Structure 1
Amino acid sequence: MSRYDGRSADPGSYRDRRPDSGFGYKKESDGSYRSTSSSAKREYDGGAQSPPRKSDLDGLTPFEKNFYEESPSVAAMSESDVEEYRRRREITVEGKDVPKPVKSFRDVGFPGILDVVLFIVYHVVVVFGNVYDCGLLLAALCALNRLDYVMQEIVKAGFTEPTPIQAQGWPMALKGRDLIGIAETGSGKTIAYLLPAIVHVNAQPFLAPGDGPIVLVLAPTRELAVQIQQEATKFGASSKIKNTCIYGGVPKGPQVRDLQKGVEIVIATPGRLIDMLESHHTNLRRVTYLVLDEADRMLDMGFEPQIRKIVDQIRPDRQTLYWSATWPKEVEILARRSLFNPYKVTIGSPDLKANHAIQQHVEIVSENQKYNKLVKLLEDIMDGSRILIFMDTKKGCDQITRQLRMDGWPALSIHGDKSQAERDWVLSEFRAGKSPIMTATDVAARGLDVKDVKYVINYDFPGSLEDYVHRIGRTGRAGAKGTAYTFFTAANARFAKDLISILEEAGQKVSPDLVAMGRGAPPPPAYGGGRDRGRGYGGGRPWN
């Protein structure tokens, strides 16, 4: 039964979908689910991909996953047209039978009325052999009221044309193939995998009691997971797709209730999801569309064992999509274990680079100069705009925030030791501009999408160049301009050479002191540093 009918009919009437029927998985003593076939893993080595073996798929119910039909305007593009479009939008592709990119939303082929009717009729005939079943005809009539359900949400969101990752990623994802998508932060990756996910969900049978989700999105942080959920809610509303967000730091009760009621999409951090699986509150037997968002960050945070444990519980013929801003060797190795015959799309250079819309300033300072330099900088740039300041440690984050507030600056902090309620409150205050300065650890470096962040300040230089790029990427989003300031000390000298490369690639001015440090010269003598501590915005008065 197609899901294009808006879930208006009785799901129990379509086919036998008992919680443990037809999926070839059994529950182990630890509460996990394992394939009853010989192997549930899909591995390829050095490009020699191997498909899931037939024995792996015994007992698994077939499912729809190829929904792409090339539009006439896309089909009319010549190879030279395609090459020129990809060159102009910095799109690089790899894989067999790569589809042409789309230039407009209408070219994507997101479902409309014809798709709705055809899917319903097809499943009526296949499942029942009776196109005159009254209940199904009623469902078809209900579907007529949900024309272009994905396009409706695109129009509502005010999008004018696909971003490069969407233009090439949508056809790839809609064809049902595994996909690796690499693009800088703020490039539209979330929508690139969520809209095909919604199409995928609508083509699957209804959830039955005891069923887990159809789509699983794994994210490294609570903040990113919540933002993905917001987009899933917005774009899934027209077709009544239910979702929930599973993450730690909050009571389990509401999340458990959502899972027990049944949701088509689960967005989760790995640790809390495993907790839910081991507690038997959900299962992954129905997952046919798996997304790993910010895969490189998840590995940086040590989630590889949890990811492997989760992936091994999902049917081997699923569609898997890896999305990331970088493609380090560790992520590539993990992908080789779980992707079959994937497409790969890279936006921009595969080398690490920063968003060219961000003006970058790097100043070499000594450690004991940082706070005074920060206050002087705030005095120069503070105009009520949102300013995000990154620290390396939770302790340092709290200390600097406390000192800023004592000096009259409107600052709040966010880091991993804060309760989820406090983190949500701080983010809401920051988004609303009530507290325009927020200090943060790298918990906010990826996925945090706050509009109108005008300045990013690296009070402490991060532990990797990838994190530097992600941190400054909190500004200059969605075509806007932004500015990033970075305090660079002698302790960071090992990053100087690669940082210079990033600055030069983005056309930024590089200070002679940084150039000298990149060549191995000792850092310059500490600048002044005798300046009195600033009095904060408004002469030390509380923010008004």
Structure 2
Amino acid sequence: MSDWEESGDEAAGAPPSSAVATAPLWQPPATPRPNSSPTEGELGRRGSEWRQEAAASVGGEERESGVVGSRRSQAARWRRPRAAAGRAQEAGEPLCFLISRALAGVLIGRGGAKIRELEESSGSRIQVIKGASEAEVKIFGSVAVQNKAKVLIDETVVSCGQSNCRGKSLDVINPENTPKKPVIDWASLRENRAKYEAMKWADLPPIEKNFYKESSRTASMSPEEVKLWRKENNNIICDDLKEGEKRCIPNPVCKFEDVFEQYPDIMANIRKIGFQKPTPIQMFYCRPRDERGGPGMLVLAPTRELALQVEAECLKYTYKGFKSICIYGGGDRKAQINVVTKGVDIVIATPGRLNDLQMNNFVNLKSITYLVLDEADRMLDMGFEPQIMKILIDVRPDRQTVMTSATWPDGVRRLAKSYLRNPMIVYVGTLDLAAVNTVEQEVIVINEEEKKAFMENFIDSMKPKDKAIIFVGKKSTADDVASDLGVKGVPVQSLHGDREQCDREQALDDFKKGKVRILVATDLASRGLDVHDITHVFNFDFPRNIEEYVHRVGRTGRAGRTGKAVTLVTKKDWKAASELIDILQRANQVVPDELISMAERYKQYQIRKEMEKDILRPQRKSSK
């Protein structure tokens, strides 16, 4: 007798002759898929062919049924003996369910990146078959692997704000085998927070922090000498943010020997790199190596480019065989996991990818004793605060923390208050927003349609050794401008978030090495891009806020050099005119009359709006 049966009007799919004998009952979804039903002639012909193949098949041989999309019938049933169901499941029978076709792209990701990540995290093989209105998901692997993959898929789909699958088509996993999530007693956790915190970190060794021994030369500096030295070195100001009694601020270190005289290996590295004296802000990580069971230092950076740049600087130093790794999205995830699990001392990472490895238990952050939050304001702007919070949950609270930021907005102050304990602040110059004084700033008030012609004239006037970054507001604009310049024979590269990682690295490398003298970029390049020989910054589009303007201008005039920043301002940028005038005046730059007029017009516009609101308020109250 045949191992499968069909009703009078079907026979759209025939099961394998032997494999069917060991499978549980399977019933396809009752709702037919649009444009997927085969014609009556096709059904008869295929049914006849499949009967012949089923009869000729050898025991144990498994055939593909070919039931994908239009080849699936509503009435076909496969029957397998229940006694053999467990063996078929262990042999790799897939877990199948349906999701909306719109969610298939979320599950697959760009270039298949998300589905590869899910496969690597769960150890399964995942197949997505798109239909007209739905997509079928098949998960191959053991029951445990299928369970893990299903949970990860559910989390991925739920995270995009939509519901998960429409319904299972296979009841492979028994409900009793699925562990129930325990109910969390939040009230009890809050009451016993200190107790649980102490239990969490009880097995960690204490941190040795005080390695610095003040030299006699540093200790003998008078208050007048300290004040003069700080003023001559970019007007350094130090303050204690601890509430209550203030602590004594140490005297500045004028020579490296005053700090590292007892560490000849570190001094050898400093001489090899070529540093003559400490810069206004300079930081070193130095501690005896021990068995920590994980990395000892973590540097978080907002962008891949900045993270890779920090790693390049770190690799210049060799101290007692310390190893470092850069972890970032877009890189080879499997290779990063392999290096981390083998053991590293310093981790440089972007928050998103590190949080991914942390959640999957590939990296142990409990051993971190020194934390650096680089460009903290930019990480907040990019929406990384949730990932940072999750990362810091697993970093011991008695760590040493350094947070750097070019600006000091409210968000950064809040972050400092949340994650730093009794910090001291060191700032160079002033906390007021100001551009670097080594850059000449020129502002041009112009019509939108004249911007491209002005930019082309600027490029034509560049000298052979000049190098410029052209900042734009949108990724599409970056591509358009770079394409237009390339067509005209101008060597150019573009840098923005939609480019593949290898293309981004190549663009930056070409610009650094001088293969191209013009880089068209979004604000991705406004932070941490350390190319010393940039002579010009050209703001084709005005940035979304005045802080980004300061960062853009800071890409030139670096390492003791001078630079020039040219900024195009149109009517739509009138909101920022007043703040831009303040920046120019602080740096003793020329303020165009058109910019002053624009600021006045916007001020009058705001006054009119407030007056209109005041007039409408009584009317609304009376109408009620």
- TM-score, with structure 2 as normaliser: 0.63
Q: Tell me: CA distance 1:476–1:375, structure 2 relative to 1, closer, same or farther (3 Å).
A: same
Any idea what the Cα deviations from partners look like across 1:4-57, whole Å, max 9, x if unmatched? xxxxxxxxxxxxxxxxxxxxxxxxx99xxxx9995489xxxxxxxxxx986775
RMSD: 2.4
Any idea what the Cα deviations from partners look like across 1:431-467, whole Å, max 9, x if unmatched? 1111111100111110111131111111101011111
Counterpart secondary structure, 1:164: coil
The offset of 1:275, in angstroms, is: 0.7
Counterpart secondary structure, 2:228: helix
Residue 291 of structure 2 is aligned to residue 206 of structure 1? yes
Q: Which structure's relative contact order is higher, taking Cα pairs within 8 Å and 6+ residues apart?
A: 1
Equivalent runs, 1:8-23 vs 2, <5 Å: none
Q: Which letter maps to 2:400?
A: Q
Partner of 1:315: 396
Counterpart secondary structure, 1:376: helix
Contact 1:391 1:459 in 2 (8 A): yes
CA distance in 1, matches of 2:411, 2:352: 20
CA distance in 1, matches of 2:421, 2:199: 16
Equivalent runs, 1:130-169 vs 2, <5 Å: 148-166=264-282
Equivalent runs, 1:201-280 vs 2, <5 Å: 203-207=288-292, 211-235=293-317, 237-280=318-361
Counterpart secondary structure, 2:504: helix
Q: Which letter maps to 2:467?
A: R
Any idea what the Cα deviations from partners look like across 1:362-381, whole Å, max 9, x if unmatched? 10111111100000111112
The offset of 1:75, in angstroms, is: 0.5
Counterpart secondary structure, 1:234: coil
CA distance in 1, matches of 2:336, 2:358: 12
Residue 470 of structure 2 is aligned to residue 326 of structure 1? no
Partner of 1:116: none
CA distance in 2, matches of 1:37, 1:219: 35
Q: Which letter maps to 1:205?
A: D
Matching residue within 248, 252, 258 for 1:97:
248
Equivalent runs, 1:369-384 vs 2, <5 Å: 369-384=450-465
Any idea what the Cα deviations from partners look like across 1:92-128, whole Å, max 9, x if unmatched? 111222111111111223642xxxxxxxxxxxxxxxx
CA distance in 2, matches of 1:36, 1:57: 17
CA distance in 2, matches of 1:39, 1:368: 60
Q: Which letter maps to 1:164?
A: P
CA distance in 2, matches of 1:56, 1:327: 33
Any idea what the Cα deviations from partners look like across 1:141-196, whole Å, max 9, x if unmatched? xxxxxxx2222222122222212223xxxxxxxxxxxxxxxxxxxxxxxxx2xx2x
Any idea what the Cα deviations from partners look like across 1:483-523, whole Å, max 9, x if unmatched? 11111111111111111111111121111111222222799
The offset of 1:331, in angstroms, is: 1.1
Residue 224 of structure 2 is aligned to residue 80 of structure 1? yes
Q: Which letter maps to 1:155?
A: R
- TM-score, with structure 1 as normaliser: 0.72
Residue 440 of structure 2 is aligned to residue 289 of structure 1? no
Counterpart secondary structure, 2:427: strand
Partner of 1:119: none
Contact 2:358 2:391 in 1 (8 A): no
Q: Tell me: CA distance 1:57–1:282, structure 2 relative to 1, closer, same or farther (3 Å).
A: closer
CA distance in 1, matches of 2:198, 2:331: 42
Contact 1:216 1:289 in 2 (8 A): yes
Q: Tell me: CA distance 1:84–1:522, structure 2 relative to 1, closer, same or farther (3 Å).
A: closer
CA distance in 1, matches of 2:298, 2:191: 22
CA distance in 1, matches of 2:526, 2:268: 32
The offset of 1:385, in angstroms, is: 2.3
CA distance in 2, matches of 1:221, 1:356: 26
Counterpart secondary structure, 2:269: helix
Contact 2:574 2:602 in 1 (8 A): no
Counterpart secondary structure, 1:324: coil
CA distance in 2, matches of 1:407, 1:449: 28
Residue 546 of structure 2 is aligned to residue 455 of structure 1? no
The offset of 1:382, in angstroms, is: 4.0
Equivalent runs, 1:23-102 vs 2, <5 Å: 39=193, 58-89=202-233, 90-95=235-240, 96-102=247-253
The offset of 1:58, in angstroms, is: 3.2
Q: Which letter maps to 1:161?
A: K
Counterpart secondary structure, 2:601: coil
Equivalent runs, 1:292-441 vs 2, <5 Å: 292-441=373-522
Partner of 2:258: 107
Contact 1:216 1:287 in 2 (8 A): yes
The offset of 1:239, in angstroms, is: 2.5
Partner of 1:499: 580
Q: Tell me: CA distance 1:393–1:521, structure 2 relative to 1, closer, same or farther (3 Å).
A: closer
Q: Which letter maps to 1:379?
A: D
Contact 1:70 1:109 in 2 (8 A): no
Counterpart secondary structure, 1:360: strand
Q: Tell me: CA distance 1:505–1:406, structure 2 relative to 1, closer, same or farther (3 Å).
A: same
Q: Which letter maps to 1:378?
A: I
Contact 2:578 2:599 in 1 (8 A): yes
Counterpart secondary structure, 2:299: strand
The offset of 1:59, in angstroms, is: 3.2
Count of residue pairs brought into register by the alignment: 411
CA distance in 1, matches of 2:473, 2:523: 7
Counterpart secondary structure, 2:461: helix
CA distance in 1, matches of 2:248, 2:199: 27
CA distance in 1, matches of 2:438, 2:193: 47
Q: Tell me: CA distance 1:37–1:433, structure 2 relative to 1, closer, same or farther (3 Å).
A: farther
Structure number with larger C-alpha Rg: 2
The offset of 1:318, in angstroms, is: 0.7
Counterpart secondary structure, 1:389: strand
Contact 1:38 1:55 in 2 (8 A): no
Q: Which letter maps to 1:282?
A: V
Q: Which letter maps to 2:231?
A: R
Q: Tell me: CA distance 1:244–1:382, structure 2 relative to 1, closer, same or farther (3 Å).
A: same
Contact 2:326 2:349 in 1 (8 A): yes
Partner of 1:530: none
Q: Tell me: CA distance 1:98–1:447, structure 2 relative to 1, closer, same or farther (3 Å).
A: same
Contact 2:575 2:602 in 1 (8 A): no
Partner of 1:537: none
CA distance in 2, matches of 1:401, 1:238: 43
Deviates more, 1:82-91 or 1:308-317: 82-91
Q: Tell me: CA distance 1:463–1:322, structure 2 relative to 1, closer, same or farther (3 Å).
A: same
Counterpart secondary structure, 1:520: helix
Partner of 2:30: none
Contact 1:458 1:485 in 2 (8 A): yes
CA distance in 2, matches of 1:488, 1:421: 33
Q: What fraction of aligned residue pairs are identical, expressed as a percent?
A: 43
Q: Tell me: CA distance 1:40–1:65, structure 2 relative to 1, closer, same or farther (3 Å).
A: farther
The offset of 1:80, in angstroms, is: 2.1
Q: Which letter maps to 2:272?
A: K
Counterpart secondary structure, 1:381: coil
Q: Which letter maps to 2:257?
A: R
Tell me, which stretches of 5 or more residues in structure 2 are unaligned? 1-180, 183-188, 241-246, 605-624
Counterpart secondary structure, 2:321: coil
Contact 1:387 1:437 in 2 (8 A): yes
CA distance in 2, matches of 1:435, 1:247: 26
Q: Tell me: CA distance 1:240–1:39, structure 2 relative to 1, closer, same or farther (3 Å).
A: farther
Q: Which letter maps to 1:214?
A: G
CA distance in 1, matches of 2:239, 2:450: 48
